């Protein structure tokens, strides 16, 4: 069918289908690779998704519906301008999402901390002791542990920069492979019974998962993962300390 045979509704509908296909690919990559659930919700991904999809899926087809008229002089130029603006907004949104993606899930002291790609300075990445921590992972967050520096001068520097909002998880030079610290992880992990006493809101989400999955509570331990907008309950195997399930817990105000 030629462009001249299209009504404005057909043109807008076709535009909408194209936008939905693009949005589906983008969201699939975000959820499957960069933001495994519930990290997506806990890091404010729903807001990013709303803006991204709002511009890509709603605004573009709506503008096409308004301006399209079969045979109108300059129609191709109008559609090209709409497509260009829409593509620019999509690229910008995807760039923001990419830079804000979770990079490392870091075991620090007695819990996990989430650090995003944009929070890691290139110089700090280059200073990492282990080569695998000298660049931001492309395929989702990497599970690591971090040790406090033993040198008093380094420890003081770390305390000083904490006033600027930087903590141990922001310095890959202190990262060590997670497998080397599983004993410390398990020493800090709570039983589910303990979790019910200390974190009742999070415990409700854990109990719901246990009931639906058939998992026995004695077969998991729990540590908290702090993100920007919420706490996440990380259920780990009581023998290996490997994560079994992550569940959205209490919101951070």
Full-model pTM: 0.83
Compute CA distances 187 → 110, 111, 193, 238, 242, whole Å. Answer: 9, 11, 16, 10, 13
* Cβ atoms of 241 and 182 closer than 8 Å: yes
Whether residue 221 has pLDDT greater than 60: yes
**172 vs 249: which has the higher pLDDT:** 172
Residue 105 pairs with which residues in a beta bridge? 114, 143
The pLDDT value recorded for residue 1 is 43
Cα–Cα distance, 63 to 13 (Å, whole number) = 12
Q: What is the mean pLDDT of residues 106-112?
A: 95
- Mean pLDDT of the chain, nearest integer: 87
Cα–Cα distance, 102 to 114 (Å, whole number) = 7
The pLDDT value recorded for residue 253 is 64
Cα–Cα distance, 120 to 1 (Å, whole number) = 51
pLDDT in tens, 128-138: 999 999 999 98
Radius of gyration of the chain (CA): 23
């Amino acid at each position: 069918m030629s462009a001249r045979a299209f009504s404005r509704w057909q043109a807008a509908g076709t535009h909408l289908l194209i936008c939905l296909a693009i949005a589906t690919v983008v969201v699939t990559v975000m959820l499957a690779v960069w933001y495994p659930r519930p990290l997506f919700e806990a890091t404010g991904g729903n807001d990013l998704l709303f803006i991204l999809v709002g511009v890509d899926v709603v605004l573009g087809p709506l503008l096409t519906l308004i301006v399209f008229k079969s045979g109108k002089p300059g129609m191709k130029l109008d559609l090209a301008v709409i497509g260009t603006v829409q593509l620019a907004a999509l690229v910008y949104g995807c760039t923001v999402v990419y830079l804000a993606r979770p990079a490392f899930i870091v075991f620090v002291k007695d819990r996990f901390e989430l650090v995003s790609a944009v929070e890691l300075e290139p110089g700090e990445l280059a200073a990492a002791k282990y080569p695998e921590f000298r660049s931001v992972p492309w395929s989702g967050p990497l599970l690591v542990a971090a040790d406090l520096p033993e040198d008093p001068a380094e420890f003081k520097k770390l305390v000083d920069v904490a006033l600027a909002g930087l903590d141990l998880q922001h310095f890959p030079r202190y990262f060590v492979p997670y497998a080397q610290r599983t004993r410390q992880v398990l020493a800090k992990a709570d039983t589910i019974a303990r979790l019910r006493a200390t974190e009742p809101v999070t415990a409700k989400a854990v109990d719901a998962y246990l009931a639906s999955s058939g998992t026995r509570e004695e077969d998991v331990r729990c540590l908290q993962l702090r993100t920007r907008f919420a706490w996440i309950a990380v259920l780990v195997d009581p023998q290996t300390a490997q994560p079994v399930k992550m569940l959205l817990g209490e919101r951070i105000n």
